[in-house]
Chain A
Amino acid sequence: MADVEMTPAAADNDWVRVTSDDGYSFLVRRKVANASETMRDMLDTAGNYAEAIARTCPVQQRGVIVEKLLEYMSFKSHYETVGPKDEVPVQEFMDRIPPEIVLELLLAADYQNM
């Protein structure tokens, strides 16, 4: 496959695939994937990594962890741009994290640099 070449407009809006260790696959907008610094670097077209060319980003975590990671990334990309007066419902997001997975999620988040 040739190098990924995209116009800047398409670059933000295309879909990328995020896969988990146990075979789950998630399709998200690139904007959402960019919420993770690690993932953004992996998918950066300038870097010419295999992940960027295939537009697929494997995350070495269980599906349930990857799902929660992506939930946070959507949450972040959605609320990051809101005005200063609008409240970010962090508390609600926190309530949606079951304590059973929080330690695993912490490690995954640390790796994803977010």
Chain B
Amino acid sequence: MAENVRGPMSALTEFLRSTGITPTTIARRVATQQQQNQPEAGPSNARPSPRRNNSRRDVDEGYASDNLDEPDSPPKKQKKDDDEESDEDAYTALSKSMWTNTPKPAVGSFANCASCEKQFTVTKYTMASSSGPGFLCHPCAKAGGNDPFKKPAAPRKRKVPAEKRTVVHIEERSFPTLVSVCIDVIARHIDDVEAFGDIGALNMDAISKALSKNRSLTSENATLFYGAENTKLALYDATNLSPDGFSTLGHLNPNLTNLRLDFCGPLNDTVMASWNNSFPNLVSLELLGPFLVREAAWIAFLESHPNLEAFLITQSPRFSLDCLKTLIENSKTTLRRLGLREVGKLCDEWLEPIAEISNITYLDLAEPSESLTDDAVITLLAAVGTNLAHLDLSGHSALTDDVLAHGIDPHMHNLTSLALTHLPELTDAGVAAFFGAFNDGAGLVRLNLSRNPELGTEALEAIIEHSGMTLQELNINGWKDVGEEAVNKLGGMRDLRRLDVGWCRSVDDWVVKKILEGCRALAELKVWGVQSCRGQVGGNTKGSEDTRD
């Protein structure tokens, strides 16, 4: 026996080896039994073993019959090794076949039945006698109540739980909406636009919005909105358009003057390069999320499209000062609207070229990575403020009241729309003073001063005094400390259409009642986060109410 060779062993083999039983010892014991004519091996057969007092764990367990013959030293050595790693509670009972002592004869050989003593042929179904050594013939085995052909019970498999319910759930969710069915029908006929009848009578912009809602606008069905006679095109969710789809857009809409693409993430350098030869009449470009377009592609595009009137991009970390300079060089005299929102590289240096745009009416420089400074903004507004109707400087956290007092107040006489959200340096008194003196009463139409928690009663009263009759949209979301007497005056703003008073603690049901009764034009009122507002009007307890007059 090669002791050094170890491999996979059955539990029985392992047990036999640990108790020192080897093929050699078995053969010797069989010989002993035959000699003594004793059918059963038992303790009577055992003689005191010199190993009795050893640390072998089976000694105390009464398996003395297996210790008839002392194994050679290698098994003992093995035993010691095993002791260290084997479990104390290891299964040590003898297998049934050990009791029968005699191994089963080979299949096909003859044996004498232990019960009826007739000769029979051993098969693989032959069973050992339960009463003693030897094997039973088939009739005796059956008579003993055992079924020789019985198969061992297959191990039961556990059922996977709750499978059925999951299936039902998926089925319910996947019920097609009528919108999706319609989109499928459109896709089916997309190559035959005339099948859709007289499209001209329909509001294609509304269809574009409906398609964009579920992000179902694709390169295929977007062609519905293309046409050589188109001058304006707006796609509200272009996420699923491929770069090739954008190029196609350029080829199929040669006469576009106004292009707006929201969520145009796949737009890349290749597309911009292909657009250099498209849209010769383009005057207005509005892109949300063109973050893949690199500097060189912007410059080439802006050079090939001079005399733009509106250039509005949101979210571009790659648009650089050089791109801006190219834009100004080519469109200085025509540019009216400029939007560089969430443009990562924006800094004070950018304001110098912007200051050259003399006719600019719309400027959006909101949500930069790093704030502009007071001095730079004041210098810019001194240069171009006169014509500006819309200014958005949200998120420039370093700007202070000085911008209001020295930048906006003296220079911006045509301002109607102002957004200054998230400017923590603004103070209540500073904003109040600004509105007290600004523009001799020419009121604003849109004002967004949300997320400025320092602002409060004084500022709001000054705003209402200044622009109360003209404001259509007002957002004071987050003015946590604004006083009750001030918010009560909100009800006097006749033209107000949209109002957000979220997170203003002094707003309650009575204030809301006054607003709803006083602002006859109100279309939307947001009261998110207003704890004391129960919201009976719309029956909406989520904190938001949409009401119509």
Q: Which chain A residues have a beta carbon within 8 Å of chain B's beta carbons?
A: 46-47, 69, 72, 76, 79-80, 83-84, 88, 90, 93-94, 97, 99-107, 109-110, 112, 114
Q: Which chain B residues have a beta carbon within 8 Å of chain A's beta carbons?
A: 167-168, 170-172, 175-179, 181-186, 188-189, 192, 195-197, 199, 202-203, 206-207, 209-211, 213, 539
A88 to chain B: closest residue by CB: B175
Q: Which residue of the partner chain, among B175, B192, B202, B213, contacts A103 with CB atoms under 8 Å?
A: B202
Complex CA distance for A81 and B420, rounded to whole angstroms: 52
Assuming the contacts A47-B539, A94-B184, A106-B207, asked whether A100 and B195 have C-beta atoms less than 8 A apart, the reply is yes
Q: Which chain A residues lie closer than 8 Å to B175 at the CB level?
A: 76, 79-80, 88
State the Cβ distance, A96 to closest chain B Cβ, in Å.
Answer: 10
Q: Which chain B residues lie closer than 8 Å to A94 at the CB level?
A: 181, 184-185, 188
Complex CA distance for A80 and B47, rounded to whole angstroms: 83
Q: Is the CB of A106 within 8 A of B210?
A: yes
Q: Is the CB of A103 within 8 A of B183?
A: no
Assuming the contacts A99-B195, A100-B197, asked whether A84 and B182 have C-beta atoms less than 8 A apart, the reply is no
Q: Is the CB of B172 within 8 A of A80?
A: yes
Complex CA distance for A15 and B202, rounded to whole angstroms: 32
Q: Which chain B residues lie closer than 8 Å to A88 at the CB level?
A: 175-176
If A79-B175, A107-B202, A109-B179 are given as contacts, then 9 extra A-B residue pairs at C-beta distance below 8 Å, sorted by A number, are A72-B178, A84-B167, A84-B168, A100-B197, A103-B182, A106-B179, A107-B206, A112-B178, A114-B178
Q: Is the CB of A102 within 8 A of B178?
A: no
Q: Which chain A residues lie closer than 8 Å to B170 at the CB level?
A: 84
* 20 A-B contact pairs sorted by A residue (CB < 8 Å): A69-B178, A72-B181, A76-B178, A80-B172, A88-B176, A90-B181, A94-B188, A100-B196, A100-B197, A103-B196, A103-B197, A103-B202, A103-B207, A106-B182, A106-B207, A106-B211, A107-B210, A109-B179, A109-B182, A109-B210
B181 to chain A: closest residue by CB: A94
Q: Which chain A residues lie closer than 8 Å to B213 at the CB level?
A: 110
B186 to chain A: closest residue by CB: A102
State the Cβ distance, A58 to closest chain B Cβ, in Å.
Answer: 16
Q: Which chain B residues lie closer than 8 Å to A90 at the CB level?
A: 176, 181
Nearest 6 pairs of A and B residues by beta carbon: A109-B178, A110-B210, A106-B182, A99-B195, A100-B197, A84-B171
Q: Is the CB of B178 within 8 A of A107?
A: no
Complex CA distance for A52 and B168, rounded to whole angstroms: 33
Q: Which chain A residues lie closer than 8 Å to B177 at the CB level?
A: 109, 114
State the Cβ distance, A22 to closest chain B Cβ, in Å.
Answer: 15
Complex CA distance for A49 and B112, rounded to whole angstroms: 97
B184 to chain A: closest residue by CB: A94
B213 to chain A: closest residue by CB: A110
A47 to chain B: closest residue by CB: B539
Q: Which chain A residues lie closer than 8 Å to B209 at the CB level?
A: 110
A44 to chain B: closest residue by CB: B539
B178 to chain A: closest residue by CB: A109
State the Cβ distance, A90 to closest chain B Cβ, in Å.
Answer: 5
State the Cβ distance, B541 to closest chain A Cβ, in Å.
Answer: 12
B209 to chain A: closest residue by CB: A110
A81 to chain B: closest residue by CB: B172
Complex CA distance for A72 and B183, rounded to whole angstroms: 14
Q: Is the CB of B176 within 8 A of A102?
A: no
Q: Is the CB of B185 within 8 A of A97?
A: yes
State the Cβ distance, A50 to closest chain B Cβ, in Å.
Answer: 13
Q: Which chain A residues lie closer than 8 Å to B199 at the CB level?
A: 103
Q: Which chain A residues lie closer than 8 Å to B203 at the CB level?
A: 107
Assuming the contacts A105-B178, A106-B210, asked whether A99 and B202 have C-beta atoms less than 8 A apart, the reply is no
Complex CA distance for A102 and B193, rounded to whole angstroms: 12
Complex CA distance for A13 and B170, rounded to whole angstroms: 28
Q: Which residue of the partner chain, among A80, A102, A112, contacts B185 with CB atoms under 8 Å?
A: A102
Q: Which chain B residues lie closer than 8 Å to A105 at the CB level?
A: 178, 182
Q: Is the CB of B539 within 8 A of A97?
A: no
Q: Which chain B residues lie closer than 8 Å to A110 at the CB level?
A: 179, 206, 209-210, 213
Q: Which chain A residues lie closer than 8 Å to B195 at the CB level?
A: 99-100
State the Cβ distance, B353 to closest chain A Cβ, in Å.
Answer: 43
State the Cβ distance, A37 to closest chain B Cβ, in Å.
Answer: 10
Q: Which chain A residues lie closer than 8 Å to B188 at the CB level?
A: 94, 99
Chain B CB within 10 Å — which of A46, A83, A104, A106 has the most? A106
Q: Which chain B residues lie closer than 8 Å to A97 at the CB level?
A: 181-182, 185
Q: Which chain A residues lie closer than 8 Å to B211 at the CB level?
A: 106
B164 to chain A: closest residue by CB: A84
Q: Is the CB of B539 within 8 A of A93?
A: no
Complex CA distance for A72 and B179, rounded to whole angstroms: 11
Q: Is the CB of B179 within 8 A of A114?
A: yes
Q: Is the CB of B181 within 8 A of A93?
A: yes
Q: Which chain A residues lie closer than 8 Å to B539 at the CB level?
A: 46-47
Q: Which chain B residues lie closer than 8 Å to A104 at the CB level?
A: 202
Assuming the contacts A72-B178, A99-B195, asked whether A106 and B183 have C-beta atoms less than 8 A apart, the reply is yes
State the Cβ distance, A86 to closest chain B Cβ, in Å.
Answer: 9
Q: Which chain B residues lie closer than 8 Å to A100 at the CB level?
A: 195-197
Q: Which chain B residues lie closer than 8 Å to A47 at the CB level?
A: 539
Q: Which residue of the partner chain, among B183, B196, B207, B210, contacts A99 with CB atoms under 8 Å?
A: B196
State the Cβ distance, B189 to closest chain A Cβ, in Å.
Answer: 5
